[in-house]
Amino acid sequence: MKDLIVIGAGCAGLTAALYAARAGKSVLILDAEGIGGQITAAPAVENYPGVPVMSGMEFADRLYEQVTKLGVEMELTTVQRIEDGKDHKTVITEDGNFEAKAIIIATGAKHRHLDVPGEEKFSGHGVSYCAMCDGAFFKGRPVAVIGGGNTALTDALYLAATCSSVVIIHRREEFRADADLVARAKKLPNIQWVLNSVVEEFLGTANLSSIRIYNKVTEKRDEIPADAAFIAIGQEPSNAAFASLAVTDAEGYFVAGEDGTTKTSGIYVAGDCRAKALHQLTTAAADGANAAMSAWKRG
């Protein structure tokens, strides 16, 4: 039996493991996909204190190396549920059961879909949710980015360096993205703007070739040529398997304070799966540290 099991190997989960291990606790991390979470898709991390610039993959690799040197163990497996016992918790996975005195759920979030015709058909054939993963396949070709937040603008800037043109499709006039990102994008001649518009359909034969949009102001439809569409419209938490153990909000995020405590004794939450104003590496790290300390104080 471990002192602590951390479910999720993103920034929050790895930070929780780091703090727990430094406190002398035995720690096991469980994750189905590997280390790093969504940050591994980021071409550059520029807003983490003390790290001027670093790729998301390098950031994750360094953090993982740091925790494993402290004796933290990891298993690649899909967690199905948690059973709450009197003196311990049992994590049920597809590869067996694991026991611990406390659990930190740091399962993060996944990309939201538009749910429009053609999205599923062209997924992997022009429709993508990761510009860094797939952008290189469209060098010198026209692409589109859908969204108005930091991820969308960061994707557009990244793609503009290699693609012939980038069209940003956003449903509003104003952007949620940081002002400096918007300003940088507006300086690039190969970035175009299609505002107050929503995607109605992705079109093509074997691969994506264009996007049908609807302008909510002019009430007109148009078709934008694009060999790829990178969807960046937000995320949804990966909390369904654990919803009975903690309070969730209308969007499915765990409702918990900064200490990560839930309604179930010995179960804590951290990172992007928790409802909060800002989902960033810095807040994920803070969540992980706080949750680990809550578990440590519990004994």
Q: What is the pLDDT of residues 174-219, one digit of tens each?
A: 999 999 999 999 999 999 999 999 999 999 999 999 999 999 999 9
Average pLDDT over residues 231-257: 93
Residue-number span of the structural domain to which 49 is assigned: 2-110+235-298
- At residue 244, the 3 state secondary structure works out as helix
At residue 108's C-alpha, the angle toward residues 160 and 88, to 5°, is 160
Task: Catalytic residue, from 130, 178, 222, 259: name it.
Answer: 130
Q: Could you tell me if 69 and 85 lie in one domain?
A: yes
Q: How far apart are the first and last CA of the chain?
A: 14
Helix or strand holding residue 204 (H, E): strand 197-204
pLDDT at position 183, please? 97
pLDDT at position 266, please? 95
Going by pLDDT thresholds of 50, 70 and 90, the confidence category of residue 235 is confident
pLDDT at position 47, please? 84
Helix or strand holding residue 230 (H, E): strand 228-231
Helix residue ranges, H only, the chain: 11-22, 56-68, 131-134, 150-160, 179-186, 281-298
Six token digits for residue 35: 């280390």
Q: Could you tell me if 226 and 128 lie in one domain?
A: yes
pLDDT at position 38, please? 82
Alpha carbon distance 87, 298 (integer Å): 12
Q: Could you tell me if 45 and 131 lie in one domain?
A: no
Q: Could you tell me if 259 and 199 lie in one domain?
A: no
Task: Catalytic residue, from 134, 155, 272, 287: name it.
Answer: 134
Q: Could you tell me if 94 and 127 lie in one domain?
A: no
Q: Could you tell me if 281 and 175 lie in one domain?
A: no
Average pLDDT over residues 251-276: 96
Alpha carbon distance 191, 197 (integer Å): 16
pLDDT at position 299, please? 59
Query: Is 134 marked active-site?
Result: yes
Place of tokens 């189905």: 32
Six token digits for residue 77: 């497996």
Domain tally, the chain:
2
Residues 109-130: tens digit of each pLDDT: 988 899 999 999 999 899 998 8
Comparing 28-42, 43-57, 64-78, 227-241, the range with the smallest average pLDDT is: 43-57
Q: Could you tell me if 251 and 290 lie in one domain?
A: yes
Q: Could you tell me if 218 and 292 lie in one domain?
A: no
Whole-model pTM: value is 0.77
pLDDT at position 297, please? 83
Residues 155-167: tens digit of each pLDDT: 999 999 999 999 9
Query: Is 272 marked active-site?
Result: no
Query: Is 130 marked active-site?
Result: yes
Average pLDDT over residues 35-64: 88
Beta pairing, strands 2-7 & 27-31: parallel
Decide which of 231, 257, 287 is a domain's last residue.
231
Decide which of 231, 264, 286 is a domain's last residue.
231
One-letter amino acid at 72 equals V
Q: Could you tell me if 217 and 263 lie in one domain?
A: no
Alpha carbon distance 199, 221 (integer Å): 10
**Contact criterion met (CB below 8 Å) for 121 and 202:** yes
Place of tokens 């995020």: 253
**Contact criterion met (CB below 8 Å) for 75 and 95:** yes
